[in-house]
Amino acid sequence: MEFMRIVLVLLSCCYCASANSNAVLKNNAYTGTVIAINPAVPEDSNLLIAIQSSWIEASGDLYTATRQRSYFGEITILIPKTWSKQVGYQRAGSESYETADVLIAQANPVYQDTPYTLQYGKCGETASYIHLTPDYLTNQSFVEDFGPRGKAIVHEWAHLRWGVFDETYTTGYSPYYYDSYGTVQATRCPSTLDGKNKVVDYSTGTTRDCQRNLENGLMEDGCLFLPYEEQSADLTTSLMSHQYLSQVTMFCHNDETDSYNHHNREAPNEQNRLCDLKSAWEVIMESKDFVNNTNPPKYGLNTNPIFRLVQIDNSRRYVLVLDTSKSMEGTRLEQMRQTVSIFISQSVAIGDQVGIVEFNTNAYKLASLTMILDDSDRTNLLNKLPTKAHDSTCIGCGLEMAITVLQEQGASAAGGNIIVFTDGEENQKPMVKDVADEVIQKLTIVDAIYYTTSGNADLEQLVEDTNGVWFYGDMADITQILGAFQSLASPNDGDVFTETFKVHSASFSVDKYSTYTGSVTIDSTVGNQTLFSFTWSQYNIAINVELEHPSGCTYSTNPLITTNSCPGHPLAEVNTEFEFVEFPLPGTATVGLWKYYVSTSSANSQAITATVTSAASSKQIQPIVVSSGLDQTDVGTGQAIVVYAQVSQGFSPVLDAQVFASIGTPDGGETTIELYDAGAAPDVRLNDGVYSRYFTGYTSPGRYSVEVTVSSTDSNPYLQSPGSRAALNVGTVNSQGNVVLNPNAGKYVPRAPSGGVENFTRIVTNGGFSYTGKPISGDKFPPSRILDLFVEQNDVYSWTDGLTLSFTAPGSDYDDGKASKYDLRYTINNVSKLLDNFDSCLPINETYVKSGNLNAPSVAGSKESFVVLPHLFGHTDKVTIAFAIRAFDQSNNVAEPSNAAPTTFFVDPPPGSAHSFKASWILILTIFLLLSFIM
């Protein structure tokens, strides 16, 4: 009966109303959640049933966990185009694999089938995606590993939607700690969750009691906390700690009247460090979903979701909407023609469709949707590109005509890509805002390429509302525009084996009689469909290009065959009308260093752009992929923007890469910043393959472009932990006190990092952002907030050795430059005071600093370490001591106080330490000798 109910949901979903691709919570129901299946996943109707049954379960569990405040009302499942067409599937609209909330894909090489979330934002920020595997959803044995699927999914949804973190110990955190009573505790939430500490031998399936580490009194390495299957009847938390326990159905909170489920602020975990010791429930209730009593509890609701099944088209449909108003006259029009021609000639894949619309005072269809089957189709489209600019600007007209083109011959506009190329100005009705609702309702995706810094907030909003991206480029360098088109041509279905990657990009000037030499590294993960492309600026005067193979032979624009010519020469295709040369390499390009030499016969210097793209070398090797993003697209006075780049091969993060972001400014300049994966703000997790950096180098209000370049040297390892994951059930303790091990747990033992990756380069053109603040004058930016402050007592049986505080140095302007001084403060037995009123806490001055100088910060990104011995004011035995720190710059701009770092500081040695162990034996020996003497 359950099987039939799910099938009926599957078949009836084609009549469901459409939803936005971004999840929205309204009237307690989430709509717009997208679950996307990777095209590499084999077609399986049982998987679709499993997805739905799992999320039906998750919806009920979410309703319970949020105390009747939310459930999944409508869910869209995105079917890959590699699956067969079914009657019940709708055509996908603005949904895409890249913007999905949940990915169903092959196993992570390290996490295997563990549910996890790629989470690299700060506390309270939405994460990137949840990753579930087909095996996890269809194989019942995984319920034993991670608990009921519904609760495991809610655990991941909390990461994704509300930006909370794990409350168990994770990589870089201690599994055990001393609580404020001096008792050794396992890292968990709540602290009332009971269990036993055991060392597990996975090879034999046996356990033994843990021994104490004699140096610090904590548990020995390898000791694990195994919870009781049955806890106190009052215990119901926490889903961010032990979601697999049957009694755990809710999140730890801060309600002092419910001690059993109260948040454990003393545990050394990610939630406490990144969320200022707040409980998961506090963070959730502060989110936009529930703040100010939004979506209050509603009882007795039917929580079963409605499922929409939509399928990606076999081909992409692009309508180019080109601005030919008077303001585009001259060089702008010529460069638009040049960049659009390269998009049509090189970027659009075989089987995709392209239509062309121009707009000035009105809009005109220049070409209906044309499927690209061969070079003649491309040539026909190139011949229809506009050649004149005149009259006013009606962007709304262009959008309306694009919809008309998409709907020709009764087709649906849903899923079509409208690419608007404009200088941003509009002065003719209908305006963008007049047609925006219609465009959104048609489920199209609108992207924009801005040619100037002129603002058009309405178009930017439409781009955002339709899950599109906008870019900015200028006349000085068309590289950004070429990169924008290349990004827009990338597949949106998750198939990295059909994607074309940019492996080289350069802009340079060549004078008459001179030659420019460049080089490109082709790595083994790419090589198919490799294309070397060169543009020039002086019309009808072609450049001369020689391309040198790693073996030493050459291809050239000179068709003459010489003894040094490579087999297949000549390959060069020269287009003098649109001023570009391309070398499409046959087969799979040879791995190694390629060189190119560019010269010109022009009487004047030529502005040249060189671009090299390549696709995956085979379906047996995952290509190295870079994805990049921004934390916002509109920045005001005093704000910094964060640039992110994720570097991975499959689902394996790539470490130790060199990552640079080039920021194009409104005045035509460029600023380059290096991104880091260091675990310091804005990066929240060390070594997860996500690189980030603040940018504050605004030159003036206007649009800024972003391009990220990633390169690497040999022997870069992969990481073990790229995200936040569900807690693994290693084993539990039953009601008789016996350990019941999970026989599957051994396969999840962390693996050592795999071998390195070879030399490679990837370049990604990101969407742009707008600076809408005031012109920058003087030092307006503070140092960044320190997020990785850690404290540790140096010797638990020698209190005079003090404590070591470590963190990553901030800069003068966020993470750039060097701060001028640190303000370090502490509290004793009152951690809350650090968070609530930092200035009233006790300062650490130089008297208390045994090592380091608070008035001499290191350059941003450096590792700082201070040894301090605070004044204990007569305290004995032990105290809970907590520290926080902030930085000042030379202009006295001050950062926010850091994360609070608490620890139990022992004046007298703790039980179980080497000192107390030795003292106990001395006492026993003394008693034995006295008894012997008496007898």
Give the residue numbers annotated as catalytic, written as ranges: 156
The tokens describing 812, both together, are 């003068």
Give the span between the Cα atoms of 166 and 479, in whole angstroms.
Answer: 42
In b/e form, how buried is each residue of 117-133, taking b as 16+ CB within 10 angstroms? Answer: bbbbbbbbebbbbbbbb
What DSSP state is assigned to residue 305?
P
Ordered DSSP codes for 310-351: EE--SS-EEEEEEE-SGGGTTHHHHHHHHHHHHIIIIISPTT
- From the list 88, 247, 56, 75, the residue with the least C-alpha distance to 153 is 56
CB atoms within 10 A of CB 43: 13
> 622, 681, 613: which is closest to 886 by C-alpha?
681
Question: Nearest CA to 312 among 42, 97, 50?
Answer: 97
CA angle 736, 146, 625 (to 5 degrees): 155
Helix axis angle, 457-465 relative to 432-441, nearest 10°?
Answer: 0
Integer Cα distance of 395 and 434 in angstroms: 10
C-alpha to C-alpha distances, 143 to 60, 148, 248, 429, 664, nearest whole angstrom: 17, 5, 15, 58, 50
Cβ neighbours of residue 684 under 8 Å, at least 6 residues apart?
119, 120, 121, 122, 274, 787
Measured CA to CA in angstroms, residue 486 lies from 313, 490, 613 at distances of: 20, 7, 9
Q: How far apart are CA 34 and CA 129, in angstroms?
A: 10
Alpha-carbon span 809 to 783, nearest angstrom: 9
Euclidean distance between CA atoms 810 and 898, whole angstroms = 11
Contacts of residue 662, defined as CB under 8 A and 6 or more positions apart, other chains included, come to 670, 671, 672, 706, 707, 708, 709
SS (H, E, C) 603-619: CCCEEEEEEEEEEECCC
CA distance 901 to 274: 11
Q: How many CB atoms lie within 10 A of CB 82?
A: 17
Can you say whether the dihedral through the CA atoms of 402, 405, 410, 416 is positive or negative?
Answer: negative
What's the CA gap between 922 and 85, in Å, rounded? Answer: 80
Calpha distance 557→554 (Å, rounded): 10
Q: Quickly count: other Cβ atoms within 10 Å of residue 831's Cβ.
A: 22
DSSP secondary structure string, 87-110?
A: TTPEEP-S--STT-SEEE-SPBTT
Q: Which residues pair with 593 in a beta bridge?
A: 521
DSSP 8-state secondary structure symbol assigned to residue 623? P
Q: List C-alpha distances in Å: 242 to 42, 122, 230, 726, 746.
A: 32, 22, 13, 8, 18
Neighbours of 580 (CB within 10 A): 24
User: Measured in Å, how far apart are the chain's first and last C-alpha atoms?
Assistant: 82
438 CB-contact burial (10 Å; exposed 0-12 / middle 13-18 / buried 19+): middle
Distance CA 543, CA 538 (A): 9
User: Tokens for 744?
Assistant: 């599957």
Nearest to 744, CA basis, from 732, 731, 735, 727: 731
Give bridge partners of residue 611 from the DSSP assignment: 505, 533
